[in-house]
Structures are given as C-alpha cells and as structure tokens.
Copies of this chain bind each other. A is one copy, B any other.
Amino acid sequence: MNNYLQTHRYLLQFAIKPSVQRTAVMDYLLKNRTHPTIDEIYSALSPSMPTLSKTTVYNTLNLFLEKGAVQQLVIDEKNARYDIDMSLHAHFICKQCGKVHDIFNLKPELFEKPENTGFSIQNVEISYSGICNSCKGN
C-alpha cells in the first residue's frame, strides 16, 4: 500500500515539487492502473478533496507529462488517458464501452524501434481495438 510519504518521494524522483493536490493525483495513478481520464481522476478525488478543481488536475497531468512521470495514451479519441506504467505493454480499447485494458507478455520485438525509417523514434505505442468480453453478449 502506498502512503502519502512514499508518493511524495516518488514525485521528487521526477523533480516535481509535491503539493497536496499533486501527491493525491499521483497516489491515485499509482493505485489505479486503469488509464484514467482527467474526469475519472477528478471525480475520484473530489469527494475527499472538495476544493480540488479540474483545472488543477489538468495542470498536474500536464506537469507530470513534461517531467516524464506519466505517458499520455493516444488510443482513445474522446479523452486523454494517462498511464504511469512505463513497462513494455500494449493497450486494447473496447469500441463499445471505451474501457482500456493492458496487454502484457507480448514479444519484446514488437516494441523495438524500427531502423532506417528516416525518423528518430522516441516512443512506441501499440494499440488494439475490438469488442471486449463483457460487451460481447450485448
């Protein structure tokens, strides 16, 4: 279980000045590895932090992005989604319910940066889409 102090230290690793809000957001990301949207983060934290504003959540995530503490996923056309898991994994988005799931255990070759493309590739993102099992029945 992460506690406030651990998360505090975690932020410092990325040279992010910890504030109450930033620590709460990072704490949420560490505990909820569900590629949340801004709105999901805000809605989850808002009850226990009534003064929190959505602007601050936006500011915070943009700061985390700049500092390299999170990755912005590109799989969902509707909302920006954020991921703290920097390990090699792909994502699956259900076209019906919109939920994003992790896919681990793929061959590492898939994530290699191809050579001789003429571009200096910094990031690789593999996205699958389809219908998830819960939606299949409907």
Q: Write the residues of chain A forming the contact surface with B, with a CB cutoff of 8 angstroms.
A: 72, 74-77, 80, 90, 92, 94-95, 101, 103, 106, 109-110, 113-114, 117-133, 136
Contact = CB atoms under 8 A, between A and B. Distances in A.
Contacts of A128: 113-114, 117, 119, 121, 123-125
B75 A74 contact: yes
A96 to B, nearest CB: 11
> Number of copies of this chain in the oligomer?
2
A94 B110 CA distance: 21
A78 B122 CA distance: 19
Contact of A77 (B74, B103, B119, B129): B74
16 contacts: A72-B77, A74-B76, A74-B77, A74-B127, A77-B80, A90-B114, A101-B119, A103-B114, A113-B128, A118-B133, A119-B130, A121-B128, A122-B130, A123-B130, A125-B126, A125-B127
